[in-house]
Structure 1
Amino acid sequence: MIDIKEYIDSGVLELYVYGTLSEAESAEVSRLVALHPELKAEVEQIETALQQLTSAAAPSTPSSFESIRSKIQSKEEKYVIPLSRKRIPIAAYLGWAAAVLLLIVIGYQFSEGQKLEDKITTLEREQLLQQGKTDMAEEELAKANELLDVLRTKDIISVPLGAQEIAPEAYASIYWNKDTEKAYVDVRGLPNPPEGKVYQLWSLTLDPLTPTSMAVLDQYDANGTQLFEVDNPNASQAFGITLEPEGGSASPTLEQLYVLGVVEP
């Protein structure tokens, strides 16, 4: 929905009446004028003002011409009055031409100014977009550096998870800090889960074999990341990742075990 007052104040209706808009722009104004009575009334006012201006600048019909015409058409006249053609001063033509030329120049200057303003607006928009991308990149870089600092601490235990029979090319990694009970799982080596399935991360104790769910990775690759932070207060001896139905499972589906890794003593 357009702002009628703002549209009128923009001056585009004057350009429309002057005929300086492109064919596409003129068609769009015609469409809006047909839809909005306020715009139609404004266009009519502009046309009336233009006609008055050109009429004032244009050469007027001599009053004597009308008098002579009436005498010729009168049935009572039995003779022809000789007509003497009055010469119209050239200054009148020049005044009329100057008025029209002034309107054209004003319309052209307004059009060029509008184009320049549009270009400036486009450049400002591009600069804001580029600044937004730069800010986002800097934020992502700061997060990456912060994560690297965490992963480089001496208390981090790194556990590579090797591929299993169901996915020979798969791999993943676990970075576990026992003191903070935080673990980071990197799943970039896993294929995208099929629709309706999610990866689930398990903490395992080996004797007896006891699985404990650590997290359902249901936001896998949702934001372009494949590294997740999860809580792990367990006394883990191994880690595994299985493919489970959406929402996760109470116990791992061993037939869908994708990667497995043992914590070195």
Structure 2
Amino acid sequence: MNTREYIASGTLELYVFGKLSEEENRNVQEMANEFPEVKQEIESIEQAVINLSYSVAPNLSLDNFNTIREQLLEREATVVTMKPKSAWTQYLGWAASIVLLLGAGFLYFEMNQRDILLKDSKKENQSLQKSVVTLEEKNKATETVLNLIQDDKNTVVALAGQTVVPEAKAKVYWNKENQAVYVDAAGLPEPPKGMVYQVWALKLNPLTPTSIGLLEQTGIVGNSKIYKVDNAAEAEAFGITLEPAGGSASPTLEQLYTLGKV
């Protein structure tokens, strides 16, 4: 077999792709050492594969190709009998498939990274939006408290501590025009578990208490300890007692914490 027939046999393509046995590899290397045209053909095949690889995956360098080829040569190869005319075309297609697979994997990795960055950006945006909403709510609550304190129409009733807790204190803001009542309970100690503060509007003669609400978390204005309770049409005094959770029909006078006249 002359060199032209040897080149056309497809053996050199098999050699480049690591599909020959060790003995066959040695034969090809001997032919390449003896015949320059055989060596040149091997280099042409390798360069064609590298060019194809680079067009799909630019990061596949000559060093990477040689590393892959060496790993392939370490494996046991099964000799594939091919027709001389179709060998180069089939192995070029095989090489293109591998390169396309590598390129697809690279693109998938890039898209996955972009997807992760996009999700992180959305989370940061949602967190920022929540912070803005929270800040707006705090500003609104602060504005409500300031308006309450500065409103000249509000009568401020100071509630002093009574026998059960002398140091307790509170304030009632009562607007006689719209009858709205707010209670500043910052001066009251935290109620025991299972107990709640109850606010009373009082008529003094005869003593007639009317419950106008409980100081619970649902009635708080912002994060302050100012509570909106029920309106009071008439009142000569306000008092706060400590009652069981849910409140009482009438005040427990032994647990009268604060009291103040209008």
Normalising by structure 1, report the TM-score: 0.58
Matched, 1:62 2:105: no
Aligned residue identity for 1:232: A
- Tell me the distance in 2 between the aligned counterparts of 1:114 and 1:160: 64
In structure 2, the partner of 1:259 is 258
In structure 1, the partner of 2:24 is none
Distance 1:143 1:185, change over 3 A: same
CA shift, 1:60, in A, is 7.3
Distance 1:221 1:175, change over 3 A: closer
> 1:69-218 to 2 correspondence within 5 Å?
96-218=94-216
> Unpaired runs of 5+ in structure 2?
1-76
Spell out, residue by residue over 1:50-96, the C-alpha distance to the aligned partner (whole angstroms, 9 max, x if none): xxxxxxxx9971159xxxxxxxxxxxxxxxxxxxxx9xx88976764
Distance 1:256 1:117, change over 3 A: same
Aligned residue identity for 2:226: L
Contact 1:59–1:92 (CA under 8 A) maintained in structure 2: no
Aligned residues: 183
CA shift, 1:174, in A, is 0.5
Residue 212 of structure 1: SS of its match in structure 2?
Answer: strand
CA shift, 1:242, in A, is 0.5
Distance 1:108 1:191, change over 3 A: farther
Contact 1:201–1:213 (CA under 8 A) maintained in structure 2: yes
Distance 1:168 1:96, change over 3 A: farther
Contact 2:201–2:238 (CA under 8 A) maintained in structure 1: yes
Root-mean-square deviation (Å): 3.2
Contact 2:203–2:236 (CA under 8 A) maintained in structure 1: yes
- Tell me the distance in 2 between the aligned counterparts of 1:108 and 1:189: 65
Distance 1:197 1:106, change over 3 A: same
Spell out, residue by residue over 1:86-110, the C-alpha distance to the aligned partner (whole angstroms, 9 max, x if none): 9xx8897676445323312321221
Contact 1:178–1:233 (CA under 8 A) maintained in structure 2: yes
Spell out, residue by residue over 1:216-255, the C-alpha distance to the aligned partner (whole angstroms, 9 max, x if none): 2344677745322230111x22211111122221221111
> 1:220-231 to 2 correspondence within 5 Å?
224-229=223-228, 230-231=230-231
Residue 231 of structure 1: SS of its match in structure 2?
Answer: coil
- Tell me the distance in 2 between the aligned counterparts of 1:109 and 1:216: 63
Distance 1:161 1:95, change over 3 A: same
CA shift, 1:157, in A, is 0.9
- Tell me the distance in 2 between the aligned counterparts of 1:246 and 1:200: 10
Residue 138 of structure 2: SS of its match in structure 1?
Answer: helix
- Tell me the distance in 2 between the aligned counterparts of 1:63 and 1:182: 97
Residue 232 of structure 1: SS of its match in structure 2?
Answer: coil
Residue 146 of structure 2: SS of its match in structure 1?
Answer: helix
Residue 241 of structure 2: SS of its match in structure 1?
Answer: strand
Residue 126 of structure 1: SS of its match in structure 2?
Answer: helix
In structure 1, the partner of 2:68 is none
Aligned residue identity for 2:126: L
Aligned residue identity for 2:81: P
CA shift, 1:206, in A, is 3.0
In structure 1, the partner of 2:239 is 240
> Unpaired runs of 5+ in structure 1?
1-57, 65-85
- Tell me the distance in 2 between the aligned counterparts of 1:218 and 1:150: 19
Distance 1:60 1:95, change over 3 A: farther
- Tell me the distance in 2 between the aligned counterparts of 1:177 and 1:60: 100
Normalising by structure 2, report the TM-score: 0.59
